Amino acid sequence: MSDARQLLGMKGASGTTNIWKLRLQLMKPVTWIPLIWGVVCGAAASGHYEWRLDHFAAALGCMVMSGPLLAGYTQTINDYYDREIDAINEPYRPIPSGAIPLGQVKLQIWVLLLAGLAVAYALDLWAGHTTPVLLLLALGGSFVSFIYSAPPLKLKQNGWLGNYALGASYIALPWWAGQALFGQLTWATAILTLAYSLAGLGIAVVNDFKSVEGDRALGLQSLPVAFGIRPASWISAGMIDIFQLLMVAVLIAIGQHFAAVLLVLLIVPQITFQDIWLLRDPVAYDVKYQASAQPFLVLGMLVTALAIGHSSLTPGM
């Protein structure tokens, strides 16, 4: 079990000396899932995805770009700049434990970034884009990842800005990529997904509870540090629920009433698990909460995306 946690890049992982396992641990595969799912939602929202071999291959390429490559880049560069914090919070991580040299980490950052940009450009060529939309999204997301982790901006120093940047990167960006790959990204859906990303802000707060000690020691104003653990747990739950309920209102407004009902039915168990795990002890139960509640969040995203793909928000429908 500890070996699996190590490979996935989860808290409490065991140590290893295998360089490839260390590289994978830096990339935190567990964080790829929401980005891969975001691509699925974007493809669904485009209204033009077809179950053909070339569409499936393009979608798979977009998932690899968003997950293993660019999310892997994001996580690796975050570990590089967070090595002092991790020495307090998670000393077993590859960099603070001294298991992997910093030169190897820098090489990994560049390889993942350049490979991600290359795949994005190849997808633009496949889609026949006159403007390289996927490449621009990849460049923009990579820049946000850099300023999230690196000084002098280091967005994660501010709980609100940092967590929103994280939420938008995990919800809006892969959604935009999937939608632009198979259809046309509109201002309406771009704004909608940015609003949805405020629910992602709430999810991002959950990851801050385990890092309170190191964040406080190094002056990072995460929401649990700024407000305290219990108030931050209420902020997290509120952001998740309020902005999903906003999506319910949007679905009703565009005439997607059945999807609105389904989304409400998915929000109810989320609130239940928030009461059971998140609001009682977010430090002890953060993993249990995310494992039990997040499936309903991602299913709700897909319901919303499918509804958008069948609505007037999608061009050519």
* Domains of the chain, first to last: 2-309 (1.10.600)
pLDDT digits (tens, 9 = 90+) for 86-101: 888 888 889 999 999 9
Q: Which of 51, 55, 46 is nearest to 305 (CA)?
A: 46
The pLDDT value recorded for residue 2 is 46
d(CA 45, CA 179): 6
Residue identified by tokens 């996927």 is 134
Query: Using 50, 70 and 90 to split pLDDT, how confident is the model at 17?
Result: confident
d(CA 51, CA 301): 20
If you count them, how many residues does the chain have?
317
Q: Which of 149, 151, 154, 117 is nearest to 136 (CA)?
A: 117
pLDDT digits (tens, 9 = 90+) for 110-153: 999 999 999 999 999 999 999 999 999 999 999 999 999 999 99
The upper half-sphere exposure of residue 34, i.e. CA atoms within 13 Å in the direction of its Cβ, equals 25
d(CA 217, CA 219): 6
Q: Which helix (H) or strand (E) holds 68?
A: none
The pLDDT value recorded for residue 52 is 96
Mean pLDDT value across residues 149-172: 92
The pLDDT value recorded for residue 277 is 93
Ramachandran angles phi, psi of 221, nearest 5°: -95, 65
The tokens of 184 are what?
């046309």
The pLDDT value recorded for residue 12 is 54
The alpha carbon of residue 41 and the mean position of all alpha carbons in its chain are separated, in whole angstroms, by 13
The alpha carbon of residue 223 and the mean position of all alpha carbons in its chain are separated, in whole angstroms, by 18
The pLDDT value recorded for residue 55 is 98
The pLDDT value recorded for residue 39 is 98
Q: State the CB neighbour count (10 A cutoff) for residue 287.
A: 15
Q: Which of 123, 116, 191 is nearest to 146 (CA)?
A: 116
The pLDDT value recorded for residue 213 is 84
Ramachandran angles phi, psi of 158, nearest 5°: -110, 120
Q: What is the CA radius of gyration of the chain?
A: 19
pLDDT reading at 13 higher than 90: no
Q: State the CB neighbour count (10 A cutoff) for residue 134.
A: 28
pLDDT reading at 15 higher than 70: no
Rounded to whole angstroms, what are the CA distances from 108 to 101, 119, 222, 235? Answer: 11, 16, 28, 35
The pLDDT value recorded for residue 85 is 86
Mean pLDDT value across residues 43-56: 96
Contact 313, 301 (CB under 8 A): no
pLDDT reading at 317 higher than 60: no
Position 176: which residue type?
W
pLDDT digits (tens, 9 = 90+) for 247-303: 999 999 999 999 999 999 999 999 999 999 999 999 999 889 988 998 999 999 999
Q: Which of 310, 277, 315, 314 is nearest to 293 (CA)?
A: 277
pLDDT digits (tens, 9 = 90+) for 191-235: 999 999 999 999 999 988 988 888 888 888 899 999 999 999 999
The pLDDT value recorded for residue 287 is 85
* Residue 250: burial class (beta carbons within 10 Å; 0-12, 13-18, 19+): buried
Q: State the CB neighbour count (10 A cutoff) for residue 183.
A: 22
Q: Bigger pLDDT: 85 or 102?
A: 102
d(CA 49, CA 183): 8
pLDDT reading at 181 higher than 80: yes
d(CA 308, CA 184): 12
Query: Using 50, 70 and 90 to split pLDDT, how confident is the model at 1?
Result: very low
